[in-house]
Amino acid sequence: MINASKPKIWYGGDYNPDQWEKQVWDEDLRMFKLAGIDVATLNVFAWAKNQPDEDTYDFGWLDEMMDKLHADGIGVCLATSTAAHPAWMARKYPDVLQVDFNGNKRKFGGRHNSCPNSPTYRKYAVRMAEKLAERYKDHPALLIWHINNEYGGAGNCYCDNCEAAFREWLKERYGTLEAVNRAWNTGFWGHTFHDWEDIVLPSGRSEEWSGANGRTETNFQGISLDYMRFYSDSLLECYKLEHEAVKKYTPNIPVTTNLMGAFKKLDYHKWAKHMDVVSWDNYPRFDTPHSYTGMMHDLMRGLKDGQPFMLMEQTPSQQNWQPYNSLKRPGIMRLWSYQAVARGADTIMFFQLRRSIGACEKYHGAVIEHVGHEHTRVFRESAQLGAELGKLGDALLDSRVKAKVAIMFDWENWWAIEMSSGPTIALRYVDEAHKYYDALYRAGIAVDMVSVEADLSDYELVIAPVMYMVKPGVASKLEQYVAAGGSFITTFFSGIVNESDLVKVGGYPGELRKLLGIWAEEIDALLPSQRNRVVITDRNIGLKSEYECGMLCDLIHSEGAEVKAVYGDDFYAGMPALTVNKFGEGEAWYLATSPETAFLSDWLPKLCADRGIAPLLADVPEGVEVTLRVKDGVEYLFVLNHNEAAATIDLGKQGTELLSGRTMQGGSAELAGRDVWIVKLHN
């Protein structure tokens, strides 16, 4: 547990005193105290200030600030500042500058602007991390390391160093050029490579182009997929080098870097293995579904097997980088903060503590607004939350969310699905996963978002939406899980390819065919305006007689699976649309198309109920979210009312509501609009 050194939900955020005159520092500290702030993330973008030239390091301001914060009881989340290189470095060593997708060499500017394979960048980034660790290793304010910032936050690099590194990466992965040729199916379009030097990066100058719907299109999925793996690994390597550098001096200080939820470019399952604690930045739009934010929290919690995570950043009020930056309405910041805690966060932190006056983030909200004093709505709300978190103390720390349902999520599968040329550009992996998540969320059923490597033995139901890519060992693992009594659901366009995007011949869904007891002969893509119908043929499964479906329709044949529904229209009317195969003690479902959401919200809760998976609270009004965290046998029930209006909730059990201290008598009670209960249940 990271909070041991300061045993409460840490409260604070990014603080950039290096961008301010010293006169305001004491005023900041005065207000931090009023807001109950006890952690400050320092030094995120101060590389150029700390290292004015190649040989000079000057940490004067940081020394002073660390001491000041410590004197006020505030701990420090210390960033290594390597997410934006100094201008002098770019001028002197142009290899730190990236080459973009179209081959243009960048000049100095922006941030997340370094080539991850630049020897200069790596050398100086590691040196900076080392200097900081050496200097502050015994500083009592140091709580945690924050390496870099939002890795991958800008474009990719396509420079010669990256190209050479890609070839090395391939040698490591494949050993021989023959194996590369096989994996990429290079017989196609005359691509056979005879020399490692033949291989170039896939970019706008070679295999790729920007297509519709925000997609990157490619001629060669195998090459592009390996490039994405390589690029995620390149940035991860930078992280690991800095991680190692700080660990040398501070082996006991935890290390993190701030992730971004379903951020496509980085395979976070791989990254999390090298992080002591997961932290992430939560920036929903005002109209982002609450279930989507919930899914992101659960995805981040799942990266390290359900261990608590840090909410590293959120805005107290508004953002600046969306087209329309609405204010968080009164009560929303508090509510969404507790949503994070309800799903496993052990810190609540903001970007940022004081609003900047220049450049592109001056219209980004902060605890201390431009007016500079504490008499603002945002400050009052921040201070209220700070006081509440103080009161909660260590009660919730390190408590766990327990789910009986898992949704499998896989980055490489995501990449492969969305670089597929055909059958449709409409298929968005995260949206498809969210449809399943949302149906369970609405039913109040807890879900873990897990990797394909996860141990499934604790789950009653595992859902793998669009498991297009089946990685080695996954099919047999799923077979074992189902044979032992588990229930499994997968969908259309699954079991098609291996890790290299090569089709598994012999009938889709390839390696999953035996488990599912079906085979798919063809896949129809529907226009956005077209629909088919899922007509339920087994009236015992308790669904309405029919539902709409669209996007993709697999034309499947049963080879032993029971048919529960068929298509209603077109030349494949009457062919199976939903099947279930008994396999050992369990069963495996195949949903051959993308259904309307009503189908999932009717079907999934029913499946869960049949397996004894109940919602945490029965009959909860729409817009009320319920979760449970458990520690040492003590249960903490979170009830969050996302509605503006009050909601009547039947708690069922008695407990103590921790924010108000009042005893809840089990019966019906009214929860105000946008309000929260955290009920410690009496057992």
Catalytic residues: 150, 313
Q: Going by C-beta distance under 8 Å and a sequence separation of 6 or more, which residues neighbour residue 663? A: 654, 655, 656, 657
CB of residue 613 vs Zn ion: minimum separation in angstroms? 48
- Judged by CB under 5 A, the stretch of 47-55, 156-164, 213-221, 264-272 that binds Zn ion is 156-164
Beta bridge partners of 210: 216
Q: Does 360 carry a binding-site annotation?
A: no
Residue 162 contact, options ligand GLA, Zn ion, none, Cβ 5-8 Å cut-off depending on partner type: Zn ion
88 touches ligand GLA by CB under 6 A: no
Contact residues for 55 (Cβ-Cβ < 8 A; gap 6+): none
**Binding site partner of 313, from Zn ion, ligand GLA, none, Cβ cut-off 5-8 A by kind:** ligand GLA
| 267, interface contact from ligand GLA, Zn ion, none, CB < 5-8 Å by kind | none
SS3 536: strand
Q: Which does 435 bind (CB under 5 to 8 A by kind): Zn ion, ligand GLA, none?
A: none
Q: Which does 460 bind (CB under 5 to 8 A by kind): Zn ion, ligand GLA, none?
A: none
43 binds ligand GLA (CB under 6 A): no
Instruction: Return the exposure string of 368-402: e unless at least 16 CB atoms fall within 10 Å of the residue's CB, then b.
Output: bbeeeebebebbebbbebbebbeebeebbbbbebe
* Least gap, CB of 301 to ligand GLA (angstroms): 19
Q: Which amino acid is at 671?
A: L
Q: How many CB atoms lie within 10 A of CB 151?
A: 24
Quickly count: other Cβ atoms within 10 Å of residue 39's Cβ: 27
47 in a known ligand binding site: no
Beta carbon of residue 500, minimum distance to ligand GLA (angstroms, whole number): 34
Of 6, 44, 8, 64, the C-alpha closest to 353 is 44
Can you tell me which residue has the tokens 């394909």? 452
Q: Residue 157, annotated ligand binder?
A: yes
Rule CB under 6 A: is residue 347 a binding residue for ligand GLA?
Answer: no
Question: Toward ligand GLA, which CB reaches closer, 351 or 493?
Answer: 351
Q: Does residue 351 touch ligand GLA according to CB under 6 A? A: yes
Q: What residues between 266 and 295 interact with ligand GLA by CB under 6 A?
A: 281, 283
Footprint of Zn ion on residues 97-126 (CB under 5 A)? 115, 117
Q: Which residues pair with 50 in a beta bridge?
A: none
Helix (H, G, I), strand (E, B) or coil at 117: coil
Rg (CA), the chain: 26
Rounded CA separation 530/20 (Å): 57
Q: Is 45 exposed, middle or buried (0-12, 13-18, 19+ CB in 10 A)?
A: middle
Interaction between residue 157 and Zn ion (CB under 5 A):
yes
CB of 124 to Zn ion, least distance (A): 15
Subset of 295-334 contacting ligand GLA (CB under 6 A): 313, 319
C-alpha angle 50-244-453 in degrees, rounded to nearest 5:
130
Window contacting Zn ion (CB under 5 A); options: 13-21, 157-165, 185-193, 623-631: 157-165
351 binds, among Zn ion, ligand GLA, none (CB under 5 to 8 A by kind): ligand GLA
Q: Is the CB of 312 or the CB of 456 nearer to ligand GLA?
A: 312
Query: By the 8 A CB rule, do 65 and 22 touch?
Result: no
Is 111 one of the annotated binding-site residues? yes
Question: Nearest distance from residue 119's CB to Zn ion, in Å?
Answer: 11
Rounded distance between C-alpha atoms, residue 268 and residue 256, angstroms: 12
Residue 229, contacted partner among Zn ion, ligand GLA, none, CB below 5-8 A by kind = none
Distances (CA, A) of 243 to 155, 276, 352: 23, 10, 24
Does the protein bind Zn ion through residue 165 (CB under 5 A)? no
Residues belonging to the chain: 683
- The Cα–Cα gap between 75 and 141 comes to 5
Instruction: Based on the shown chain and the rule CB under 6 A, indicate whether residue 364 belongs to the binding site for ligand GLA.
Output: yes
Tell whether residue 657 is a contact of ligand GLA (CB under 6 A): no
**Residue 115 assigned ligand-binding role:** yes
Least distance from ligand GLA to the Cβ atom of residue 14, Å: 6
Asked if 470 and 495 touch (Cβ cutoff 8 Å), the reply is yes
Residue 162 touches Zn ion, criterion: CB under 5 A? yes
- Picked from Zn ion, ligand GLA, none, the partner binding residue 149 (CB below 5 to 8 A depending on kind) is ligand GLA
Alpha helices in 308-457 (DSSP H): 332-342, 377-392, 411-418, 429-442
Site for Zn ion contains 159 (CB under 5 A): yes
145 is in an annotated binding site: no
36 to 55, contacts with Zn ion by CB under 5 A?
A: none
For the bound state, the minimum distance from the C-beta of residue 281 to ligand GLA, rounded and expressed in Å, comes to 4
569 and 532 Cβ atoms separated by less than 8 Å: yes
Rounded to the nearest 10°, the torsion over CA 414, 416, 419, 421 is -130
Nearest to ligand GLA of 143, 312 (CB atom):
312
**In the complex, least distance from residue 84 CB atom to ligand GLA, rounded to whole angstroms:** 10
With CB atoms as reference, the residue minimizing the distance to ligand GLA is 281
Verify binding: residue 149, ligand GLA, rule CB under 6 A: yes
The nearer residue to Zn ion, 265 or 304, going by C-beta atoms, is: 265
Q: Which does 272 bind (CB under 5 to 8 A by kind): Zn ion, ligand GLA, none?
A: none
Is 169 labelled a binding residue? no
Backbone phi and psi for residue 382, each to the nearest 5 degrees, phi listed first = -65, -40
Q: Spell out where 35-90 has E strands.
A: 39-42, 75-79
**Count of residues that bind ligand GLA according to CB under 6 A:** 9
- What b/e string do you get for 413-452 counting C-beta neighbours within 10 Å, with b at 16 or more? bbbbbbbbeebbbebbbbebbbbbbbbbbbbbbbbbbbbb
| Structure-block tokens of residue 442 | 């609405």
| Annotated binding-site ranges | 111, 115, 149, 157, 159, 162, 321
Binding residues for substrate: 111, 149, 321
Positions in the binding site for ligand GLA (CB under 6 A): 149-150, 281, 283, 313, 319, 351, 361, 364
Binding residues for Zn(2+): 115, 157, 159, 162
- Contact residues toward Zn ion (CB under 5 A) are 115, 117, 157, 159, 161-162
